[in-house]
Amino acid sequence: MRRLLAGLTAAVLAGALAACGTSSDSGDTTDAGGVDQVKVGVIPIVDVAPIFLGKEKGFFKSRNIELTLEAGQGGAAIVPGVVSGQFQFGFSNFTSLLIAQTKSVPIKAIAAGVASTGEAGKDFGAVVVKGDSPIKSAKDLVGKKISLNTLKNIGDTVTRESVRKDGGDKKNLNFVEMPFPNMPAALQDGQVDAAWVVEPQLSTIKAAGGREIASTFVDTAPNLTVAAYFASTTLIEKDADLVKRFTEAINESLTYADAHPDEVRTVLGTYTKIDEKLRSSLVLPKWPTQINEPSVQTLATLGAEDGIFTGTPDLEKLLP
């Protein structure tokens, strides 16, 4: 028995050493027969449906790109992942990209990501309250507790703008941070008076009797570009051809997704667990290929006003 134990220990040690050896090699971009291995950091939500659809349709393969989608939880890992070269490309909302830019993080947007539908009451993000809440419109939010998925980010800017446009004091809002999935329960429980949510939570809350009081993206700018695909400036300098091909493939994917909402709802079932009923009813965003520059400028100006950025964002450096 003791001999067995000694053997076992040796085996475990050998296994450990072997594992140490293999676990350290990651992050490969090598060409194999002219095909680029490309990893993209995305958040597994509705916004990135086009890239999943485009992969399925072969829009990337036809441009010699072998796409791996790394659906990380939350956007926090994506910017560092792109900068450190774990991912070649990433998906992030514009406020996060502007924040990164003011901190001189070497990244640049290379394609549009997702945009507001531009229709009040029919957008994919909004501020909602409980059905019996005394809050009737955005200005009633003043002094109230509002949940955001990330403090000092895009939700902050657009919610403040809705309040300002409705005649309220935008400085006097009480934001609390919590993940989107927790918001329906927090709202129901009265832990927050209002919640800034996106799909699919928006539909869930409305289905449970919640009321939408502000289409925040619509209030902030006409046809606001909410997010973009981006790359590190290093990659853009080093492999301009890959970036060009990727941008073309993304643009084709965005156009295709925008024209085929039914296929978007189907592809959602492959990388999320949103059930069929919810998938068929939720509000889809818009996927134009053009980044709406004035709307990004608005995000930058408003964010600077509210003190989200430490410096002044330089759009020249960030936009393609």
Q: What is the binding site for another protein (CB under 8 A)?
A: 1-2, 4-6, 8-9, 12-13, 15-17, 19-20, 23-24, 26-27, 39, 41, 44-45, 70-74, 76-77, 80-81, 84, 86-87, 179-181, 184-185, 188, 200-201, 204, 208, 271-275, 278
Q: Give least dist CB 252 to another protein, A.
A: 26
Nearer to another protein, 117 or 272 (CB): 272
Residue 48 near residue 91, CB atoms below 8 Å: yes
Cα–Cα distance between 299 and 314 in angstroms, integer? 12
100, 107 Cβ separation under 8 angstroms: yes
DSSP single-letter state for residue 10: H
Distance CA 129, CA 113 (A): 28
Closest approach of another protein to the CB of residue 313, in Å: 24
Q: Please state, in angstroms and rounded to a whole number, the distance separating the CA atoms of residues 53 and 56.
A: 5
DSSP 75: G
Rounded Cα–Cα distance for residues 194 and 206 (Å): 13
Nearer to another protein, 136 or 277 (CB): 277
In the complex with another protein, the residue whose CB is nearer, 56 or 248, is 56
CB nearer another protein, residue 24 or residue 30 = 24
Residue with the two structure tokens 């999935």: 181
Amino acid at 306: D
Query: Rounded to whole angstroms, how far apart are CA atoms 300 and 306?
Result: 10
Q: State how far the Cα of 96 lies from the Cα of 76, in Å rounded to an integer.
A: 9
CB of 26 to another protein, least distance (A): 6
* CB-nearer residue toward another protein: 256 or 271: 271
What's the closest the beta carbon of residue 274 comes to another protein, in angstroms? 4
Closer of 22 and 33 to another protein (Cβ): 22
In whole angstroms, the minimum distance from the beta carbon of 23 to another protein comes to 5
What's the token pair of residue 94?
Answer: 């514009």
Q: How far is the CB of 273 from another protein (least distance, A)?
A: 4
Structure tokens of 209?
């009797």
